[in-house]
Structure 1
Amino acid sequence: MQSDMDWNDLKFFLAVAQGKSLSAAAQSLGVSPSTVSRRLDALEQALQVQLFRPHRDGYELTEVGQGLVSAAEQAGARMQVFERNARETGDDLSGPVRIEAPELLGQEILLPALIGFMETYPRIRVELRGAVQPVRLAAEEADIVLRLVRPTQGNYRIKKIASIRFALYASTDYVRRHGTPQMPEDLHRHRVVGWTDDLAFLTMATWLGGHIPGLRPSLRLNSFSAQVEAVRKGAGWAVLPEFIASPADFVRGLEGLPSLNADLWLLVHEQAQTLPRVKLVRDCIVAALRGWLRP
């Protein structure tokens, strides 16, 4: 006999889908493997479908299960937002605000502004995640998101907030020792700091290769902050945002190349946008960005 689905069982489904075993799912949820197994059985019985098939290394999703992962992530995220908002409506100027932003932008522009913000609003708890690889918007893991590419998914209100200009930079020390390239092809005789292969799709990586075919980085790194530090220490040339490249430390090269301009998009979750604490953090972020970047 078919029974009603327990929405709480979605978290067990997602934990097994991500961990690929009962033990990994149990560890992430803080329960026993038998509890995970029992909740999965209940979910499959309620839905009248098989979501996983056991195999030698654990559990793998069936075709039906694979088709339900995205919907389960969205449903779970919405339930979290619903519960969080319901708990905190009695005190609108307290509680968490989750922000996701490109790593260097968060570190250099947002963080100083947010530290000052917390002096004024000490009961608002800010979570700032900075990464090159962004969160999945379909999973709705953040209240406020900053992106360099206009997203096409997720339940967010989207607005272009600024433009970031990138160019080629090296340290003053490197230029003193090795000079500057006069023509794009001269860069083949210089050291170049680039991105690891898994991040070769980034605009900053493809832009330089598009202007200088066959260019091979001498050093590959997987974060902006690491690239900035490497260039500062004399590792070579890299494509960096203008806002980080102070004339005292960096020299711009190949100024004849067209600039790389990337639009910066501000996203605010639809279910969080009316919360006063989210509005305050959003306004703080907008003011900080407009103080540094072009509109």
Structure 2
Amino acid sequence: MEPNWDDLRAFLAVAEEESLSAAGRKLLMDAATVGRRVQRLERDLAAVLFTRSPQGYALTGEGQRLLSHVARAESEMRAGLDAVEGQGAGLSGQIRLGAPDGAANFLLPQVCAAIVEANPDLEVQIVALPRVFNLSKREADMAIGVSPPSAGRLLVSKITDYRLHLAASTEYLRRHGAVRALEDLKGHRMIGYIPDMIFDRELDYLGELGVQRVALASNSVSVQFNWVRQGGGIGVVHDFALPVAPGVRKLLEDKISLSRAFYLIRHEDDRRVERLSRFATLLSEGVRREVARLEALTS
């Protein structure tokens, strides 16, 4: 028997969310209905697609093989709908964007707000998490990363470079003394990432500078930035974040300047989805302009 498309959609949602309840919320149906659709699909295919456990639903080998085909079919369907709706229409529907919290807090709010302003029928969701997103499980429609992934069926394009510097609040420096040389850092309280929670080697800023001890640490760059702003110590700060903190100034600019890049990462199956491609272009252009504008304010 040929599978029902609604059953395949339920399968795809469970594969992405790894639970019936989460898949039900995504599909706007109750978990029991999702479960029945998955069971019917397994019966029609005479295959076990998931391993059930208290931790959730995990794909079996048969499920993994089916997933790539169903995800590709969904992408083709979205591409077809985009073609029918026409390229001249405004963007609509929901797009979920994953991003590290530095970009999510200091760049994406204004960039995405401007895109939605020009496209009133569009809904943008920003998922700010300090980790790498799994686009294969459709955790997001696209993601911004700080290094290009080397594996997976992904479309990767560089958005822009950005700069970072050591920084501290003027109040902290007044209380603890000026920093005129790299050696002076040994006498100051340092702020940075929790060492074993650095999810990308590009974020090991203090390690690159030879700093051994971090007194105040967080896996969130926004928490680190607020510690710096509130006089907690010295940390590495994105230049594009500095305009919102006039009481923070860069240190040792002539000796230490870090450069990193943002990359836009998409699933290869979405290449022909016009709506996502148009949003990706607008997003990349907006982030590029915003980084340049904010960094110019700190020069």
Taking structure 1 as the reference length, the TM-score comes to: 0.75
Deviation (angstroms), 1:45: 2.6
Which residue, 200, 203, 207 being the options, matches 1:202?
200
Which residue, 217, 224, 227 being the options, matches 1:230?
227
Question: Which residue of the partner structure matches residue 105 of structure 1?
Answer: 103
Q: For structure 1, which segment, 191-200 or 18-27, has the greater mean C-alpha deviation from structure 2 after superposition?
A: 18-27
Counterparts of 1:278-289 in structure 2 under 5 Å?
278=279, 279-280=281-282, 282-289=284-291
Question: Which residue of the partner structure matches residue 149 of structure 1?
Answer: 147
Counterparts of 1:80-229 in structure 2 under 5 Å?
81-82=78-79, 85=82, 88-89=85-86, 92-96=89-93, 98=95, 99-119=97-117, 121-129=118-126, 131=128, 132-139=130-137, 145-152=143-150, 153-156=152-155, 158-184=156-182, 186-196=184-194, 199-203=197-201, 205-212=203-210, 214-215=212-213, 217-229=214-226
* Residues matched between the structures, number: 288
Aligned: 1:36 with 2:34 = yes
Task: Give the SS at the match of 1:8.
Answer: helix
**Would the aligned equivalents of 1:88 and 1:95 in 2 still touch at CA under 8 Å?**
no
Q: Which runs of 5+ in 1 are unaligned?
A: none
Counting aligned pairs with the same residue, the percent is 26
Deviation (angstroms), 1:173: 0.8
Instruction: Give, as a single letter, the amino acid of the residue that structure 2 aligns with 1:47.
Output: L
Q: Which runs of 5+ in 2 are unaligned?
A: none
Q: Are the structure 2 counterparts of residues 264 and 94 from structure 1 closer, same or farther at C-alpha, using a change threshold of 3 Å?
A: closer
CA RMSD of aligned residues (A): 3.9
Aligned: 1:241 with 2:238 = yes
Q: Deviations over 1:188-242 (max 9, x none)?
A: 4322222245632334642312332532x22222322222222111111111112
Question: Which residue of the partner structure matches residue 9 of structure 1?
Answer: 7
Task: Give the SS at the match of 1:245.
Answer: helix
**Would the aligned equivalents of 2:164 and 2:257 in 1 still touch at CA under 8 Å?**
yes
Q: Are the structure 2 counterparts of residues 88 and 180 from structure 1 closer, same or farther at C-alpha, using a change threshold of 3 Å?
A: farther
**Would the aligned equivalents of 2:111 and 2:283 in 1 still touch at CA under 8 Å?**
no
**Would the aligned equivalents of 1:185 and 1:212 in 2 still touch at CA under 8 Å?**
no
Q: Are the structure 2 counterparts of residues 32 and 235 from structure 1 closer, same or farther at C-alpha, using a change threshold of 3 Å?
A: same
**Would the aligned equivalents of 2:50 and 2:63 in 1 still touch at CA under 8 Å?**
no
Residues of 2 paired with 1:102 and 1:206: CA distance? 14
**Would the aligned equivalents of 2:197 and 2:219 in 1 still touch at CA under 8 Å?**
yes
Deviation (angstroms), 1:50: 1.7
**Would the aligned equivalents of 1:92 and 1:275 in 2 still touch at CA under 8 Å?**
no
Taking structure 2 as the reference length, the TM-score comes to: 0.74
